[in-house]
Amino acid sequence: MKKNFLIIGAVAALLTSCAGEFNKVFKTSDYDYRYEYAKQIYAEGKYSRAASLLQDMISMKKGSADGQEALYMLAMSEYMSRDYESAAMTFKKYGTSYPSGIYAEQAAFYVGQSLFESAPEPRLDQSPTIGAISAYQTFLDLFPESELRPQAQKKLFVLQDKLVHKELLSAQLYYNLGGYFGNINSNNESNYISCIVTAQNALKTYPFSNWREDFTLLIMKSKFQLAENSSEDKRLERYRDAEDECYGFLNEYPDSKNTALAEKYIAKCKKVIGD
């Protein structure tokens, strides 16, 4: 027990000593020493503290031999501290301040990487995802021969998949709302139409998506529901459209687990149309 107390005491004393040293450096007016200390703790992986020291030194170092290094270290310190929003802004600032700098390639890549890390789940607003895609594409345009190119391309696929998933969730929500009240009305009809339009637009924008069958299925189901609940003047036209959609689904996905549903819809359509 006594030994444990001694260890705890030693650790506490060490932490206090480190904190005291950091505070002393933070308050010093010897900026060269302060900068060298920031580089040292950065190398030791103490990124949060390094960022604290570097933040108000950037303007001082601008134009000097250390200017590029200081700004890039600040950006990387923010990134490694998981302050991705600040990191993205600082990496962008580096690219603007030093477009031909020695860290320009890495900074351009890490703008996308920072935004990638802050991109939300598909149900939420995807502005950061769109920003990350734009940043990676800019990086690929500026540095087409970069060794980081494969990583950027891989992340682009992940981000684009997230946008597709967002569209699928929106289309599914419209479909679910279409039958919410049980009986069709103008709002329900509008929801089914919105589902169809959302899914069709997604298929045009992302023709090779992993969710292509899901979008096609939603279109088929929505068209059938529209026909089922149509007014008399639209009934036959919508059943014919639904029947065509079912055949299209079967042709594209003959082995789908939803073939029985498509065949069921076709039988109902034929019965109404009188084929």
So what's the pLDDT on residue 275?
A: 63
So what's the pLDDT on residue 185?
A: 57
- In the predicted model, what is the mean pLDDT of the chain? 88
Q: What whole-number percentage of the chain has pLDDT above 70?
A: 85
- Mean pLDDT value across residues 229-244: 93
pLDDT in tens, 159-193: 999 999 999 999 999 999 987 755 455 557 889 99
- Mean pLDDT value across residues 37-47: 94
> How many Å apart are CA 171 and CA 165, to the nearest integer?
10
Q: What whole-number percentage of the chain has pLDDT above 90?
A: 72
Which tokens go with 239? 């059943």
Q: Which residues does 89 contact at the CB level (< 8 Å), separation at least 6?
A: none
Which segment of 51-60, 73-82, 131-140 scores lowest on mean pLDDT?
51-60
Please state, as a whole number, how many other Cβ atoms lie within 10 Å of the Cβ of residue 124.
11
pLDDT-derived band of residue 6, with 50, 70 and 90 as boundaries? very low
So what's the pLDDT on residue 142?
A: 97
